[in-house]
Amino acid sequence: MPTASARPPVARRVVFVDGVRTPFGRARKDGLYAHTRADDLVVKTVRELLRRHPDLSPERVDEVAIAATTQQGDQGLTLGRTVGVLAGLPRTVPGYAVDRMCAGAMTAVTNVAATIGVGAQDVAIAGGVEHMGHHPMGFEADPNPRFLSERLVAPDALNMGVTAENLHDRFPALTRERADAYGVASQAKYAAALAAGRIDPDLVPVALRDPERGWGLATADEPPRPGTTLDAVADLPTPFRPGGRVTAATSAPLTDGAASCVLAAEETAAELGLPVRMRLVSFAYAGVEPEIMGVGPVPATRKALDRAGLTIDDIGLFEINEAFAVQVLAFLDAFGIADDDPRVNPYGGAIAVGHPLASSGVRLMTQLARQFEEHPEVRYGVTTMCVGLGQGGTVIWENPHHADCTTDGSQQ
């Protein structure tokens, strides 16, 4: 029996201290990371976070949670634990692996945030990695035959590209012309952000060794295609369906990369002198029909808004993962937001930079944190993404630079 003095833990404010990522590479035999291990990529991000924040003693890290969708080979063996050891953290720091497909890193973040919030931990590292060149999506997966024999899902629910085509079918207003325009705009916004110096500060250079080309250094994202035009994409083939609407220009390319971040209780960040770049407000996950998995961010966002006591009109910045253009457009239509709304993915998105599945959630957060610094007039922002097999995830963040937020987290 608990003693009379025992008290349940009190929820604490959780803050996003910092996030970094590797440059993203194309998942192919001659891609940036063709000869680089997946675990080494994410180790690089953890070491960089510790380097950037010398006031954070490694002994103060309470947990390492690292996500991967295909947990085998160099992405297996309980990544959080192995990455912590490889990154030089004390052996006393535990860790674990996470899998929620595309929302893996997002789930790692919300898992450790919840743990920090109830007082079980003070500081944690969360992130994700996906080496799609070594581990193609669905490689050696063995879906239970009951899914199809008992008609639990349609056969096309297991092919993400086909689910994007299904979204076009379900919502006729989501035309190929709109998707093409959105994909071209993503490339242009990324190119503008890169030229303005808004991408490089969050990148961690990665040393490369190629048996044929020797040593090198990855310092920039490989997937973007600057200068893409509507005319150039108009006649692209539709690989998921003859006469379909989803093309390479409106899909995130297959990508290799990793991202990690530090989260802490707000009072611990103050104690250690760590920056507070965002405050976590609420988060939610939701399930939808697997056949149209791209709508997952819509109910997830509604749940997160409801839990926070906010409306969509309170959100001043949106970081929406661009698995497919049609998925973002479905979200925008659901909330009455214009395709070219400047609040949406100001730095471009995954269509340009790539989507290394389990790592993308932290990329969204890191970009939102930088945008908060640029826009102190914005109080709330959203990171959201669809998830394979019919899910969506959303995290709502508060901008500590906003005039209505004091340095101690109280509201004016």
Q: Which residues are catalytic?
A: 102, 355, 386
Residue 290 DSSP SS3: helix
Q: d(Cα 369, Cα 381) in Å, to the nearest integer?
A: 9
Question: And the tokens for 244?
Answer: 């379909």
* DSSP code string of 88-147: T--TT--EEEE-BTBTHHHHHHHHHHHHHHTTS-SEEEEEEEEETTTS-TTTT----THH
What's the gap between Cα 175 and its chain centre? 26
Residue matched to tokens 């020797």: 214
> Is the CB of residue 45 less than 8 Å from the CB of residue 83?
no
**Separation CA 43–CA 3 (nearest Å):** 43
Length of the chain: 412
Q: Which of 64, 49, 32, 361 is nearest to 204 (CA)?
A: 49
243/5 Cα distance (integer angstroms):
69
Buried b / exposed e along 394-410 (16+ C-beta atoms within 10 A):
bbbbbbbbbeebeeebe
Rounded-to-integer distance, Cα 83 and Cα 76, Å: 11
Q: How many CB atoms lie within 10 A of CB 242?
A: 7
Under a CB-based contact definition with an 8 Å cutoff, are residues 330 and 164 in contact?
A: no
CA distance 364 to 127: 12
* CB-count burial class (<10 Å; 0-12, 13-18, 19+) for 220: middle
